[in-house]
Structure 1
Amino acid sequence: MSDTLYIQTDMNILIKHPHVYLQDIARLSCSNSKVLNRLRVLPVANLNPDTPGRYTMSVMDLVDLIQKKEPDLDITPLGELSFILTYQPPGKPQMIFEILKVVFISLASFFGAAFSIMTFNTDADVGTLFKQIYQQVTGNVSNGFTILEISYSIGLAAGVLFFFNHFGRKKFSADPTPMQVQMRQYEDNINTTLLEESSRKASSS
């Protein structure tokens, strides 16, 4: 009875070294430890060390390589049938660039959110509405700085904090923040697009 190899891959795999081995990109499981150890160090790809980027591969490519090495082995693929190798060579982080990027994104987010809130308030004429409500309820003329404006300002800030579920390094719950969800959806869309484009090119060639 032949041994069975279970191979599991993710959609996007981060690679730090141009010489890629099977254990770098897939999770392997086999009852035969000798076969498993041989396949862990099976060369899969040799990337250009000076060309970081994303490379698409298929599980069938891995199956072909494994069968050449172990022809009597039964292979059961799990997970993604097509996946992406994201090659990012290790290097010293450029702290000045990282700090400037964080500052730029923070300022853009802050002023962008402030502009959106101000345009909404102007479009809905919230100030006039508050003055009318205050005058109808109290009978006095609003000076623009009443309990309505104060409660609205505090509630708006608290709502933003609770919605984004994040303040500094602290989170209000273990759930992912809306920003993390959107970034994950964005990454998934990019991965799907890259795999589909690669599949189309392979079909047309």
Structure 2
Amino acid sequence: MQAIIYMRMKKYVYITPPKKLTIADVALLTGDQQLVSSCNALPIKEQTSMTNKVQVIEAFTIIQLMQKVDPTIDVQLLGASQSIIYEQKQNNKPKILLMLFVWLLLFVGSAMAIMNFHYDVSMQRVHQRLHYLFTGEDTDYPLWLQIPYSIGLGLGMVLFFNHLFKKKFNEEPSPMEIEIHKYQQDIDQYVQYYENPLNHSKHDKS
């Protein structure tokens, strides 16, 4: 009688070398408890030492290892068929100087972009014209328009990105989070194809 084991691969696994990976590190198993325990402890020999920063483990490899223990195991795969292994550095302390440099670079760059945009569309002239339409007077610096506009510009950016430091105003993802999610999906597709040992073997044969 076949023993049915249900398996779901973990999408991401972060390890700190040297670490011997086991099936429990890369997959979630459920079924007969005794059989699940023995399968969870099986080492994945191909991944005991990481030669690359990123590696991919196929569900097919895990199934082969489990069937060596018991050829009658019927593995039912649920969800993704691959797991991406990332090497995690030890004592990864934040680099304050690098963070300040990036922050300063982004601050100056965004400020220049906003100022150049306002110069291109003659925003000051627009404010002057609006001031004349409302008051009938000419002035070079209509501060009663420029100050609220500047504050509103900053508040609009905060609301658009849905973040103020670590505070989030609602549960909806911000446009930046959506773009990061799409970027991560593209990275995952690239890694799953080019770091997959099964794909390498196909290319080698061709």
Normalising by structure 2, report the TM-score. 0.88
CA contact (8 A) 2:127 2:142 kept: no
Q: Deviations over 1:13-37 (max 9, x none)?
A: 222342000001111111x111011
From 134, 140, 143, the equivalent of 2:140 is: 143
| Residue in 1 that maps onto 2:186 | 189
Tell me how large the CA RMSD over aligned residues is.
1.9
Q: How does 1:1-205 map to 2 (within 5 A)?
A: 1-17=1-17, 18-30=19-31, 32-45=32-45, 46-48=47-49, 51=51, 53-89=53-89, 91-95=90-94, 98-198=95-195, 200-205=199-204
Percent of aligned pairs sharing the same letter:
25
Does the 8 Å CA contact 2:131/2:138 hold for their aligned counterparts? yes
Off by >4 Å, runs of 4+ in structure 1: none
Partner SS, residue 43 of structure 1: coil
Could you tell me whether the CA contact under 8 Å between 2:23 and 2:42 is conserved in 1? yes
Q: Does structure 2 conserve the Cα–Cα contact (< 8 Å) formed by 1:12 and 1:191?
A: no
Measure, in 2, the Cα distance between the counterparts of 1:99 and 1:62.
41
Is the contact made by 1:11 and 1:191 (CA closer than 8 Å) also made in structure 2? no
CA distance in structure 1 between the partners assigned to 2:54 and 2:42 by the alignment: 21
1:32-86 Cα deviation digits (max 9, x unpaired): 111011011111134326x561012211111111111121111011121133211
Q: CA 1:131/1:115 → structure 2, altered by over 3 Å: closer, same or farther?
A: same
For residues 183 and 85 of structure 1, the distance between their equivalents in structure 2, rounded to whole angstroms, comes to: 20
| TM-score relative to the length of structure 1 | 0.88
Aligned length: 200
- Distance in 1, matches of 2:52 and 2:187, equals 17
In 2, Cα distance between equivalents of 1:119 and 1:110:
14
Gap runs ≥5 in structure 1: none
| 5+ long unaligned stretches in structure 2 | none
